[in-house]
Structure 1
Amino acid sequence: MSKGVHVAHNKLEASPQDQRGQGGHGAIPLSAGMLLVTLGVVYGDIGTSPMYTMKSIVANNGGIGTVSEDMILGALSLVIWTMTLVTTVKYVVIAMKADNHNEGGIFALFSLVRKVAPWLILPAMIGGAALLADGILTPAVTVTTAIEGLRTIEWGHALLGDGQTNAIIITIIIICGLFAMQRAGTSSIGKLFGPLMTLWFLFLAGAGLFNMLGNPSILRALNPIRGIMFLFSPINHSGIMVLGFVFLSTTGAEALYSDMGHVGKANIYASWPFVKAALILNYLGQGAWLLANNSNPQMLAMDIVNPFYMMLPEPLRPFAIVLSAVAAIIASQALITGSFSLVSEATRLNLMPHLRIHYPSDTKGQLYIPLVNNIMWVGCIFIVLLFQNSERMESAYGLAITVTMLMTTTLLTSYIAGILKHKLGACVFALLFGAIELCFFASCLTMFFDGGYVMIFLASLLFGLMYVWRRGTAIERTQTILLPVSKYIDQLGRLRNDETYP
C-alpha cells in the first residue's frame, strides 16, 4: 500500500515537461519556416529594447547636454557586453543546454534539479513569480513608449499635446484590444508575427548603419574597457544606477530560454546572431547620432530626447512609429501567452490552484486562461494609470527580471554541480554571473521608491500564492500518506466478511 501511495505521489509531482518527455516529445528541427516563427515569438521583448534603453541612460545622466564621446562609448560598451555576457553566454550558450526533454524555462529547469536539493523549490517559485510580474509591466512600457514616439513628428505632437492624457488614453485602448483578442486565439495574427519582426530587425540594422556612416569611430564602443572606465568615471552622473538602465537592453533574455520548447533550440541558435547584430547596429547608430547632436540647440531645448526616433529622417518617422507600435504589440503578445504557459506549468507542479484553461485554436501549445488574462489586463491598465509615462515605468522595469535571472543562476549552478557533476564549472559560473547580476540587482534596487516597489509587491503576492498553495497541498498529501490504517483493520475485516454488500 505504501509503495502504491508513493508512486501516485511521484506522478502528481511530474512536471508537464516530464510528461511530454515520457511521451517522446522530440526536438523541433531547423527550418526556414521555424526561423520566421522564432523571430516572431522569441525576440519581441529584447527586440523592442532599443526604443528606450539609450533614452533612459542619457536622460538619467543629465540629458543630451552631458553627452560626450567617452560617455557614449562607455554606455554603448556596457550595453553591448551586457547582451554578450548575459544573453549570449548565459542563456544561449549555457542555459539552453539544460533542457528538460527539449523544454526550457525556470520551471523546466527546476524539474531537472529538484532531486539535488528540496530547497530549490524556493528560487523556482521566486523566479516564476517575478517573471509573471514582469509580464504585467512589459505591455504597459512597450506600448506607452511607442505611442510617445508620436511626439517626434508634427501632427503626432499636435495629437498628443504636451500633457500625457491623450497618450494614456491611446495606450489603454491598445492594451484593451490586445487582451480582448486573447479569447478568440491569435493563430491567424501569429502568422504575421515572423515577417513583421524580420522587417523590424532589418529596420533596426538599417537605421543604425545609416547613422554610423557619419562616425565609423563609434565602433570603438566594442572595447569592454570603455564600459568599465565609464562606470567608475565622474562623467557617469548616475553612478551604479546606470547599470539599471543598461540592463533594459537584455530584459527579454529569460523569454529566449523559456520559449525553447515552442521553437526548438536549433532555430534560436541560428537566428540569435542576426538579432544581436541588428540590435548592436541600432545602438551604435543611436550613439553616433547623439555625438553629432549633443550641441544642437533644438535638442537641448527638449526635456527628454529619444535617439531611437530622432536619429531617423523626419519623413521616415511615421513609418517607424507604426512599425514600433506593431513590434510593441507583438512583444506584449509574447509575454501574455508566455504567462499563460508559465501559470499552466506552475499548476501542474502544484504551485498554483487549478484554473480553467481554454484552447482557442488548433495551434500547438496555445493556451488561454481567462482569470490570468483578466488579472494581467487590469494590472496593465493600473500600471499605465499609476506611472503615467514610459520614463517612470522604465525605473520599475528591471527590478523584477533581475530577481528572475538571479534565481535562474542559482538553479543553473545546481544543475552544473549536481547533474553534470562539474563542481569547478559551477563555482566559476556562480561567481561570474552571480556578481554581474547582483550588480544589476543593486542598481535596480536604488530605483525601488521610483516604482520598483510595485513590481516587488506584485511578485511577493504571486510568490505568497505559490507558497501557500504548495504548503497546503503538501500537508494534505502528508496527512493522506500517514493515515493510521492499523486503527481501521477490524472494521475493514468486518466489511470484507459481510456478504450483504457486493
Structure 2
Amino acid sequence: MINVKSTTKHGDVAKLSAGGVLIALGVVYGDIGTSPLYVMKSIIEGNGGLKNISENFILGSLSLIFWTITILTTVKYVLITLNADNNGEGGIFSLFTLVRNRAKWLIIPAMIGGSALLADGTLTPAVTVTSAIEGLDLIPSFRAFFGSQVDIVTIVIIILSALFFIQHFGTDLIGKMFGPIMFVWFSALAIWGIIGISHDWTLLRALSPYYAINTLFSSENKAGFFILGSIFLATTGAEALYSDLGHVGKYNIYGSWPFVKICLLLNYFGQGAWLLSARHNPTFTNMEDLNPFFQLIPSSFLIFGIIISTLAAIIASQALISGSFTLVSEAIKLNLFPRLHIMYPSSTKGQLYIPSINKFLWIVCIGIVLYFGNSARMEAAYGLSITVTMLMTTILLFNYLLKKKTPLIAAVLILVFFSAFEFSFFIANIVKFTHGGFIAALIALAILSVMYIWIKGYYIKMRLLEHVPIENYKTQLNQLRQDSDRPKYTTNLVCLTSSHDPEQIERKIMYSILDKRPKKADVYWFVNIAVTDEPYVAEYSVDTLGTLYIVRVQIRLGFRVEQKLNVFLRQISTELVENGEIKIQSRNYTTMPDRKVGDFRFLLIQEQLSYETALNFWEELILKSKLFIKRYTVSPTKWFGLENSDVDVEKVPLFIGKYDHTTLKRTPK
C-alpha cells in the first residue's frame, strides 16, 4: 500500500505580482543592493587614492562594473541559472540534487561551493554594517563627541549582536518591513545617482566595453589586472538571487531585477561623476577613508542616508544569516553535515533557526570586526570565497544543461565562457589571501573538512554494515510476540534502519531484538527515512511481508521537510489499522476510548568504537573524527522529534581495527 502526500510551497510565489516583487526587494537583493556602500571606495583606495585617478580610469571602472553585473548577475544567474530550479527551489545544494545522479564526483563541487558560501556569510554582515556606520564620521556632532574608530566598531558590534540575538525569536514582525525599506533604499540610490550624474551625462559612454578593456591594460590603473578584485564586490550578491529563489519565485526576480539594476548603476555612475568633480579638491584628496557613496548624498539628507543605509545593511545581513541556516539545513538533510538542533521560531514556512550556527556566525562576525577594525581592511579580504562558489555553480550548471538535453556546443560554450570569466576574478582575488582573505579560506576549509569527514564516514560505515533478510526472522519474531513467559516490552517496537531495500535490515537490529534482551511486541516496525531530490515531497510505502506483526515502512521526505517521525508513524499506523493491514490494538485502560493504536517504543542504535575488523589508518581516523563530532550534535531523539516518546538507546560497535585475541591456557588446580 502506498500513500502519497506531497506538498508544494510555491503556489503563492510562482506568479509575478506587486506583492511578490516587494518581497523580492527585501529578501533577494540585500547583498548586491548594499554594494554601492563600498565598491567605488575600494576601487579608489586600490589605485592609491583620489589624487591618482583620471577620467579614463573612472570611465573604465564604471564600464567594468556595468559589464560584470550584466554578464554575471543578469546573464548567468537571472537569465540562465534561475531556470535550474528544483520544484521552485534554488541554491547550490538544490542544483546538486538535480544532477547528482549524473556522476558521483559532482558531490565535490557541491561541498566546496557550499563551504565557500557559508564562509562568505561570516564576512558580509561585518563589512556591510561597518561600511554603513562609518558614514557617521561625516556628521560634525558625532565627530565632536565620539569620532574615533573605536566608537564605530562598538556601534557595529552592538548592532550585529542585537541582530544575532533576535534570530531566536524569528523575524516575522520586522521581516514585513524589509520590502518597503529596500524599495526606499533603491529609490534613494537612484535619486542620488541621478543628482550626481546630472553634472556629467557623458559618463554614460562607459557603457561601452571599450573602456573596461582599455582600463585593464592602462598605466593609469595602478592595480592592473587585480582591479577586478574590487570590481567583483559589485556582484557578490548574485549567488543570493539563486539561493533565495524558493522564497519569491523566478518571475518576481525577473520583475524586480531591472529596477534594482538600474538603481545600482545610476548610483555607481553618480559616484563616478562626484569623483571626477572632486579629484582636484584638496579637501577630498587629503581625506582619509574617503567614501564617495556618502559624499554623493546631499548634506541635508546625510543623516537620512546613514539611517537608510544602516537599515539596508541590517537587512542584507539578515538575508545572509537566514540563507546560512537554510544552507546548513539542506546539507544536513543531504547527509553532508552533522545533525544540528533546528528550531522553527515562526509560523512562516521555511523560516528556521539553528542555534549553533547562529552562535558560530556571531562569534566569527564580531571577531572579524575586531580584527580588521574598519571597512577598508574588510574590503581587502572580501570576495575570495564567493568566486569559488560561483565557479562550482558553473560546473553543476553545465551538468544540468546536459541533463536537460541542451545542445552540447551551447553547454560547453556556457561552461568555458563563465568559467574563464569567474576564474579571472578568482585570480584577481587571490591577492586578498594575505590581506585577510585567509580568514574566509580557513573557515571554508574547516566547513569542507567537516563535510568530508561526515560523508566519508557514512560510506565507510555502510560498507561495514551487514544486512540480513527480514524473511529469515519472521518465525522467530512471531514466536517471540506469542511467548507468554516473557513480559511485553511494548505494543509497537519501532526500529530505524538505514537500508533502502524493503526486504532487508541491518543484522545489528535483529541482534538487539532477539539476542541482547528479547523484546516482545505485538508489531515490529522497521522504518527507513530516505531524503529525496525534490524539496517538499512527503510520502510513504508499506510492506507487511504477508503478516500482521511486521511492518516495513519506507518514508520519503524532501530535503526541506522536517523529519518528525512520531507524527508520521501515528498517521501511518492509524491508516494501517483502518485498512485492516494490522490488528486493532485495543487497550483496557485509556483516556481515549476510540483509540485504535497502542503505545510505541523507539529503538535507536548508538555507535561505538571496537577493534575487530581491519581498516587502514585513514579510514580509522575518519571514523574516529566523525564519532568525535557526533558528541556535539543533536541527538537522534531530538532530530526525529521523539523527546516526548518512549525511546531506548542501545550501543553497538563500529569495527575499526584488527584485534589480536589472546587465548587462555587452562592449568591444573
TM range (shorter): over 0.9
- Give the equivalent residue in structure 2 for 1:296: 281
The question of whether the paired residues in 2 share the 8 Å contact of 1:396 and 1:451 is answered with yes
The answer to which structure has the higher helix fraction is 1
Deviation at 1:233, TM superposition (A): 0.7
- The partner residue of 1:114 within 85, 90, 100 is 100
The answer to which structure has the higher strand fraction is 2
The question of whether the paired residues in 2 share the 8 Å contact of 1:113 and 1:418 is answered with yes
- The partner residue of 1:218 within 180, 196, 203 is 203
- Residue 185 (str. 1) matches residue 179 (str. 2): no
Q: 2:280, 2:195 → 1: CA distance?
A: 20
**Matched letter for residue 90 of structure 1:** K
**Matched letter for residue 45 of structure 1:** D
- Residue 75 (str. 1) matches residue 61 (str. 2): yes
**2:101 aligned counterpart, secondary structure:** coil
The question of whether the paired residues in 1 share the 8 Å contact of 2:53 and 2:220 is answered with no
Q: What CA RMSD, in Å, does the superposition of the two structures yield over aligned residues?
A: 1.9
**1:103 aligned counterpart, secondary structure:** coil
- The partner residue of 1:334 within 319, 331, 342 is 319
- Give the equivalent residue in structure 2 for 1:347: 332
- Give the equivalent residue in structure 2 for 1:133: 119
Post-superposition CA distance 1:21-43 (Å, at most 9, x none): x5344452211111111100100
The question of whether the paired residues in 2 share the 8 Å contact of 1:153 and 1:314 is answered with no
Post-superposition CA distance 1:56-99 (Å, at most 9, x none): 00111011001211000000000010000000000000000101
The question of whether the paired residues in 1 share the 8 Å contact of 2:10 and 2:249 is answered with no
Q: 1:165, 1:290 → 2: CA distance?
A: 28
Q: 1:355, 1:476 → 2: CA distance?
A: 20
- Give the equivalent residue in structure 2 for 1:263: 248
The question of whether the paired residues in 1 share the 8 Å contact of 2:382 and 2:432 is answered with no
**1:328 aligned counterpart, secondary structure:** helix
Q: 1:268, 1:219 → 2: CA distance?
A: 26
Deviation at 1:425, TM superposition (A): 1.4
Q: 2:145, 2:292 → 1: CA distance?
A: 21
- The partner residue of 1:390 within 366, 375, 388 is 375
Post-superposition CA distance 1:230-287 (Å, at most 9, x none): 0111111001110000000001100000111111111000000000000000000000
- Give the equivalent residue in structure 1 for 2:212: 227
Post-superposition CA distance 1:449-483 (Å, at most 9, x none): 00110000000001111111111222223333xx1
The question of whether the paired residues in 2 share the 8 Å contact of 1:159 and 1:166 is answered with no
TM-score normalised by L of structure 2: 0.70
With over 3 angstroms needed to count, the CA separation of the structure-2 counterparts of 1:170 and 1:490, relative to structure 1, is closer
The question of whether the paired residues in 1 share the 8 Å contact of 2:337 and 2:451 is answered with yes
- Residue 325 (str. 1) matches residue 316 (str. 2): no
Q: 1:193, 1:25 → 2: CA distance?
A: 21
Q: 1:325, 1:341 → 2: CA distance?
A: 24
- Give the equivalent residue in structure 1 for 2:462: 477
- The partner residue of 2:7 within 23, 44, 57 is 23
- Give the equivalent residue in structure 1 for 2:439: 454
- Residue 95 (str. 1) matches residue 81 (str. 2): yes
Q: 1:313, 1:33 → 2: CA distance?
A: 31
- Give the equivalent residue in structure 2 for 1:104: 90
- The partner residue of 1:380 within 365, 373, 395 is 365
The question of whether the paired residues in 2 share the 8 Å contact of 1:399 and 1:441 is answered with yes
Deviation at 1:490, TM superposition (A): 8.5
Deviation at 1:421, TM superposition (A): 4.2
Q: Return 466-475 or 334-343, whichever deviates more.
A: 466-475
With over 3 angstroms needed to count, the CA separation of the structure-2 counterparts of 1:42 and 1:495, relative to structure 1, is closer
**1:310 aligned counterpart, secondary structure:** helix
**Matched letter for residue 207 of structure 1:** W
Q: 1:360, 1:200 → 2: CA distance?
A: 28
- Residue 197 (str. 1) matches residue 182 (str. 2): yes
Q: 1:123, 1:245 → 2: CA distance?
A: 25
**Matched letter for residue 326 of structure 2:** S
With over 3 angstroms needed to count, the CA separation of the structure-2 counterparts of 1:494 and 1:363, relative to structure 1, is closer
Deviation at 1:364, TM superposition (A): 2.0
Q: 1:210, 1:26 → 2: CA distance?
A: 40
TM-score normalised by L of structure 1: 0.92
**Matched letter for residue 246 of structure 1:** I
**1:96 aligned counterpart, secondary structure:** helix
- Residue 49 (str. 1) matches residue 20 (str. 2): no
Q: 1:23, 1:422 → 2: CA distance?
A: 33
Post-superposition CA distance 1:291-342 (Å, at most 9, x none): 1110001001112311100122222111101110010000000100111111
The question of whether the paired residues in 2 share the 8 Å contact of 1:150 and 1:160 is answered with no
Deviation at 1:154, TM superposition (A): 1.3
With over 3 angstroms needed to count, the CA separation of the structure-2 counterparts of 1:24 and 1:180, relative to structure 1, is closer
The question of whether the paired residues in 2 share the 8 Å contact of 1:207 and 1:282 is answered with yes
Post-superposition CA distance 1:124-183 (Å, at most 9, x none): 01111111111111111011111111112212323442x421111111000110001111
**Matched letter for residue 99 of structure 1:** D
With over 3 angstroms needed to count, the CA separation of the structure-2 counterparts of 1:489 and 1:212, relative to structure 1, is closer
Deviation at 1:411, TM superposition (A): 0.4
What are the ranges of 5 or more consecutive residues in structure 2 without an aligned counterpart? Answer: 487-519, 521-669
The question of whether the paired residues in 1 share the 8 Å contact of 2:10 and 2:246 is answered with no
Q: 1:492, 1:190 → 2: CA distance?
A: 55
**1:447 aligned counterpart, secondary structure:** helix
- Residue 414 (str. 1) matches residue 406 (str. 2): no
What are the ranges of 5 or more consecutive residues in structure 1 without an aligned counterpart? Answer: 1-18
With over 3 angstroms needed to count, the CA separation of the structure-2 counterparts of 1:479 and 1:151, relative to structure 1, is same
- The partner residue of 2:150 within 141, 148, 165 is 165
Q: How many pairs does the alignment contain?
A: 480
